[in-house]
Amino acid sequence: MNKIKWTNEIRCLTTIGGWCTALFIISFGALANVESGKAIYDKQCALCHEGNLPEAPRRAGLKKYSAERVVEALSTGVMSTQGIQLSKQDMENVALFLTGKAVSKAKTHQVDYCEADLQLGHQSVENWNGWGGNKQNSRYVTNVGNLNKMHANKLTLEWVYAFPDTTRMRSQPIIIVSTIFMGSQEGKVYAIDADSGCTHWTFSAEAEVRGGIYAEFDKNGVLDNLLFGDFKANAYSINAKNGQVNWKTQISNHPQASITGSVTAHNNLVYVPLSSLEVISAARENYACCSFRGAVVAVNIKTGEKVWEQFTTEPPKPTYENAQGIMQQGPSGAPIWSRPTVDHKRNLLYVTTGQNYSTPATHTSDAVIAMSLLTGELVWVAQLTKNDAWNGGCVRQNSNCPKENGPDFDSGTGAILVETEQRGIVLAGQKSGNIFALDADNGGEVLWKRRVGSGGTMGGVHWGMSASDSMVFAGVSDLPTNNPYIEGAPHPGVAAIDIVSGEFVWQRVLDNTCDKDDKFACYPGISAAVTATKDLVFAGGLDGKLHIFDSQNGTQLWTFDTRKSFKSLNKVSANGGSIEADGALVHDGDLFITSGYDKWGEIPGNVLLKFRVNME
C-alpha cells in the first residue's frame, strides 16, 4: 500500500468504534480526499452497493479491491457509465475511500515463469476446450484417469494458484494436454502449467475476461491460437505459444455491451455472444431504458473481420415516458449470457437468451434460438417463459421497471446437444427452476419440461448443466429471494434427469451446515456449472463447498470446503469463497476448481485449486 505523505497529521492512539486498532498517520489533504470520495460514493454508488441491487458487490467486498481496480472500473470498466462525469482525481478519491489505499504507480506482483517451454497439444488428445468442454457444451468427461468412484475420496490438494487484484473467479479453465488457459477479473489471460503451476505467459486484454477460452488447432491438428472476448465487447485471437495478438475486433459499439458468455468456433467462423449490464443502469430513473439488444456476431477466424450479425430483438423505438419524464424505449435486452452450441449435423447454432430489459416483451426472450451457422438467419425460436421484461429498476419498483415486471427468468445455461437413437435433443435450464428438452429435428418442439427447483431471481438452474448420452445433471441454486414467481420449496443441490423420458433419476437436496448470519456462508445452492463423468458429478456451492456425487444414485462421495485461506505457489495472498459461474475441470485424474465470487453479496476469493488422487 502506498504511504500517504503528510505535513499536518492526525494520530489515532486507541481503538474508537472499532475503526482504529493501531497507530496510523494520515494527512489533512488525504482526509479531504477520503471525504470527497465518500460524498461521490454516497451520491452515485451507494444506492446499488449498499444492498439495494443484488448484482452489485457490497462495500465490504469492494474494500478488498486494489485502488487501481476501482479506478479502472470507473474509467473503462463495468462502472464506466457511472464514472463518465468524474475526473481522474474524483475516481482516485472514491478508490481511496473504498479501499483505504492510494493509487500506486508501480506494479508489485512478480510472475513465477516456467523454465521449460510451453508444449503445444494436439487435437487428437481429449482436451477440455471452451466453456462446455466441447462444441456440444456437454461438460461430460471420459478422460478421467484414476479419478473414479473408488478413488474420489482419495483426492488431495496439490497446489493453489492465486490471482492478484482479484475477488471474483468466473472464467472456465480449459486444458490442452498439460497447459491450462483461463481469463481473469484483472483482464489477463494466463497460460499455466497443469503439473507444476508455473506460468508460461500472461496476456493483458482491455477488460475482464469472463468466459472460457476456445482453442483453435491448425490443419495438422496442433494447437495454434486462443479465442475469447472481454467485458468491453472486444474479441481476440492470440498465439497459444506466446500470447501475442493475432487480431482484436470491437464486436459492438453499444456503450454497455459486454461479452460474458464464451466464444466458440466452427470451420472458419468464430461465434461471439453479446450481453450487457444496461439492466443495472436502468436502476437509475433518469436513465432512458433501454437500447441494448442481445446478439451473436460471427467473425472470420483468421482476420477477425465481421461476417454476419444476428440480433435477438427488433431495433428499439420510443414507447412511453416514465414518472420522471424520461422516454423509455423497446424492445431491448434478450442478452446471451452463455456459450453458443454448434450442431454441425443440422448446420445450426443454438443460443439461450435472457429477459427483455424494457416493454414490450418479445417472443425471443427467455428462449432457445436456432440460427444458421453460415448466415445467422433465424431457423426457429422456442420460448421457455413468455412476457418476461425486467431490469434493476424493479428491485425498488421505480418507474423504469417495465410494465411486465418480471419474472426475471434468464436462461444463463448454454444449450446442450445430445444425439439419441430417435432424434437430436437440445437441453436448456432456466432460473425458473425448469429444465426443457427440445426436438432438434422438429423446430424446437418441447419434448418434456421438468421442474427441479423453486426458481427465482437467484433460483433454479444458472450457469451450466452436464449431460451423458442418457442423463442430464443440473445444479439448482434456489437461493431464497422476494421474487413472487417462485413455485414450491427450494431444492438447493443437484438433480439427475433421464434425457428421453424427462423423469427424475435422482435428486440430492443439500442442507445448510453452519449457523453463521451470512446466508452465502451457509447456503448450499449450486449456481455454478456442473461437470460429470461416467461415475461422478462435480458441483461447487455458493457456500464454497466442492462436492462429488455418484452419478448413478446421487450418493455424496467427497466434499472439500474452499472457503479458507491458502498458501499459493505464486506467493500472492490466496483466499477461497463462493463457487459460482464456471465449474470443475476434470482431466486425466486431476481436478481443478476456481473459488471466489464477490457479486450478489457472495464470498470473495481469488484461487485456482488443483487436486489429485493420492494412491499411497
| Most confident listed range (14-23, 310-319, 595-604) | 310-319
pLDDT digits (tens, 9 = 90+) for 123-170: 877 899 999 999 999 999 999 999 999 999 999 999 999 999 899 999
Provide the pLDDT for residue 517.
Answer: 65
Question: Which whole number is the average pLDDT over 472-499?
Answer: 94
User: Which of 120-134, 201-215, 525-539 is the least confident region?
Assistant: 120-134
Provide the pLDDT for residue 17.
Answer: 38
Polymer length in residues for the chain: 616
The three cell numbers of residue 168 are: 471474483
Burial of 156 (0-12, 13-18, 19+ CB in 10 A): exposed
Q: Is the pLDDT of residue 380 over 90?
A: yes
Provide the pLDDT for residue 12.
Answer: 37
In whole angstroms, what separates CA 101 from the centre of its chain?
28
Look at residue 35 and give its three-state secondary structure.
helix
Question: Which whole number is the average pLDDT over 236-246?
Answer: 98
Provide the pLDDT for residue 4.
Answer: 36
- Answer whether 456's CB lies under 8 Å from 480's CB: yes
- Answer whether 424's CB lies under 8 Å from 442's CB: no
Helices 88-99, 28-44: inter-axial angle, 10-degree rounding: 90
Look at residue 75 and give its three-state secondary structure.
helix
**Which band of pLDDT confidence, cut at 50, 70 and 90, is reported for residue 16?**
very low
Distance from C-alpha of 250 to C-alpha of 242, rounded to nearest angstrom: 22
Look at residue 390 and give its three-state secondary structure.
coil
Q: Write down the CATH number for the domain with range 9-99.
A: 1.10.760
Residue (of 397, 382, 421, 340) closest to 136 by Cα position: 340
Residue (of 237, 259, 258, 263) closest to 248 by Cα position: 237
**Which band of pLDDT confidence, cut at 50, 70 and 90, is reported for residue 35?**
confident
- Answer whether 248's CB lies under 8 Å from 355's CB: no
Distance from C-alpha of 414 to C-alpha of 529, rounded to nearest angstrom: 10
* HEC secondary structure over 536-561: EEEEECCCCEEEEEECCCCCEEEEEE
Question: Which whole number is the average pLDDT over 212-218?
Answer: 97
Say what the pTM is.
Answer: 0.89
Distance from C-alpha of 616 to C-alpha of 610, rounded to nearest angstrom: 18
Provide the pLDDT for residue 457.
Answer: 87
The torsion angles phi and psi of 99, rounded to 5 degrees, stand at: -105, -20
User: Which of 286-290, 492-496, 513-517 is the least confident region?
Assistant: 513-517
pLDDT digits (tens, 9 = 90+) for 91-106: 778 878 877 778 765 5
Residue (of 246, 285, 279, 282) closest to 260 by Cα position: 279
User: Which of 42-51, 87-96, 269-278 is the least confident region?
Assistant: 42-51
Look at residue 303 and give its three-state secondary structure.
coil
Question: Which whole number is the average pLDDT over 557-572?
Answer: 96
Question: Which whole number is the average pLDDT over 64-71?
Answer: 73
Residue (of 203, 204, 364) closest to 296 by Cα position: 364
CA distances from 62 to 98, 280, 573, 595 (A): 6, 17, 16, 17
Distance from C-alpha of 374 to C-alpha of 123, rounded to nearest angstrom: 24
Residues above pLDDT 70, as percent of the chain: 89
Looking at domain 112-131+210-412, its CATH architecture is 8 Propeller (2.140)
Look at residue 190 and give its three-state secondary structure.
strand
Residue (of 490, 485, 599, 591) closest to 542 by Cα position: 599
Provide the pLDDT for residue 586.
Answer: 98
Distance from C-alpha of 611 to C-alpha of 587, rounded to nearest angstrom: 11
In the chain, DSSP finds a helix count (H) and a strand count (E) of 7, 39
The three cell numbers of residue 77 are: 470498466
Distance from C-alpha of 597 to C-alpha of 577, rounded to nearest angstrom: 6
Provide the pLDDT for residue 15.
Answer: 36
Residue (of 240, 228, 128, 241) closest to 175 by Cα position: 128
Q: What are the b/e assignments for 434-462, b being 16+ CB within 10 Å? A: bbbbbbbeeebeebbebebbbbbbbbbbb
Instruction: Say if 9-99 and 112-131+210-412 have the same CATH topology.
Output: no
Question: Which whole number is the average pLDDT over 42-57?
Answer: 69
Provide the pLDDT for residue 108.
Answer: 56
Q: Is the pLDDT of residue 22 over 60?
A: no
Radius of gyration of the chain measured on its C-alpha atoms: 23
- Answer whether 516's CB lies under 8 Å from 522's CB: yes
pLDDT digits (tens, 9 = 90+) for 329-350: 999 999 999 999 999 999 999 9
Question: Which whole number is the average pLDDT over 496-517?
Answer: 90
- Answer whether 353's CB lies under 8 Å from 295's CB: no
Residues above pLDDT 90, as percent of the chain: 73
**Which band of pLDDT confidence, cut at 50, 70 and 90, is reported for residue 292?**
very high
Q: Is the pLDDT of residue 55 over 70?
A: no
The torsion angles phi and psi of 366, rounded to 5 degrees, stand at: 45, 50
- For the chain, give every domain's residue range: 9-99, 112-131+210-412
Looking at per-residue confidence, does 138 or 22 come out higher? 138
- Answer whether 146's CB lies under 8 Å from 233's CB: no
Residue (of 467, 250, 452) closest to 341 by Cα position: 467
Provide the pLDDT for residue 11.
Answer: 36
The three cell numbers of residue 497 are: 434427469
Q: What is the mean pLDDT of the chain?
A: 90
Distance from C-alpha of 64 to C-alpha of 374, rounded to nearest angstrom: 45
